[in-house]
Chain A
Amino acid sequence: GESVGLHLPTLSVQEGDNSIINCAYSNSASDYFIWYKQESGKGPQFIIDIRSNMDKRQGQRVTVLLNKTVKHLSLQIAATQPGDSAVYFCAENNAGGTSYGKLTFGQGTILTVHP
């Protein structure tokens, strides 16, 4: 079946560096994408989203880039801080049919920020 996956399962960076977390998706019908942060023992926390009619969206210290041509999504975190250490998931919203409104999650990337 179609799924969302991540290229890198772990990422270690130094405090203050920029982080880039990548995600590949295979469902060309997906039209809405979300990045979540999950800390240990907690539920996923919304970071930023993007619709398929956009290729870039910026938030506070975070930027999401969408490349529909190669079905690739990335999350950029500027000036990474120790508090950013967590697991990051991309998720895609399945458009239409019986999958309408459901989110499919990618594998996840463990981000570790060293002080």
Chain B
Amino acid sequence: GAVVSQHPSRVICKSGTSVKIECRSLDFQATTMFWYRQFPKKSLMLMATSNEGSKATYEQGVEKDKFLINHASLTLSTLTVTSAHPEDSSFYICSARTGGVYNSPLHFGNGTRLTVT
């Protein structure tokens, strides 16, 4: 069964508004979660590493003021796309490990399809 739950699965918003995406670890605690972005027929690109109780670490080229990440508890990380624009339309996927780096792979949520009109 799923170990990472993501909500919502789909969202349509108007340009200029903000959208929040939730990522929850089920039955395990995740001090670190990873947020990826995927365009159609493309690979997954890491956006940021979400750290419980501290600031997220963003990959080069990802605007931290645009993509706000909050990891307020050991089971929940949120990604907020602020002032969304059509070019932000994409598939956003979060992930977490159930164990340590070298004894468990990343498990992914089922993604959130964001469409900005």
- Which residues of A does B touch, CB under 8 Å? 32, 34, 36, 41-46, 49, 51, 89, 91, 93, 98, 100-108
Residues of B within 8 A of A46 (CB): 105-107
Band of interface residues on B? 20 to 34
- Evaluate whether A44 and B93 lie within 8 angstroms (CB atoms) in the complex, with A89-B43, A105-B43 already known: yes
Whether A103 lies near B34 (C-beta < 8 A) is yes
CB-nearest residue of chain A to B112? A43
Residues of B within 8 A of A103 (CB): 34, 46, 95, 106
Residues of B within 8 A of A104 (CB): 46
Whether B106 lies near A43 (C-beta < 8 A) is no
Query: In the bound complex, how far is the Cα of B29 from the Cα of A54, in angstroms?
Result: 29
Residues of A within 8 A of B105 (CB): 34, 46, 49
Query: In the bound complex, how far is the Cα of B48 from the Cα of A101, in angstroms?
Result: 12
What mask results when residues 104 to 116 of chain B are scored 1 for a CB within 8 Å of chain A, else 0?
0111111101000
CB-nearest residue of chain A to B44? A105
Given A44, A101, A108, which contacts B108 in the complex, CB threshold below 8 Å?
A44
Given A43, A49, A106, which contacts B43 in the complex, CB threshold below 8 Å?
A106
- Evaluate whether A101 and B32 lie within 8 angstroms (CB atoms) in the complex, with A49-B105, A51-B102 already known: yes
21 interchain pairs, CB-CB under 8 A = A32-B101, A32-B102, A34-B106, A41-B111, A42-B111, A43-B4, A43-B6, A43-B110, A44-B93, A45-B108, A46-B106, A51-B102, A89-B43, A93-B101, A100-B101, A101-B32, A102-B49, A103-B34, A103-B95, A104-B46, A107-B43
CB-nearest residue of chain B to A35? B105
Question: Other than the known A44-B93, A51-B102, A106-B43, what 6 A-B pairs have Cβ atoms closer than 8 Å?
Answer: A43-B95, A43-B109, A46-B106, A49-B105, A101-B32, A103-B95
Q: Report the minimum CB–CB distance from B117 to chain A (whole Å).
A: 20
Residues of B within 8 A of A89 (CB): 43-44
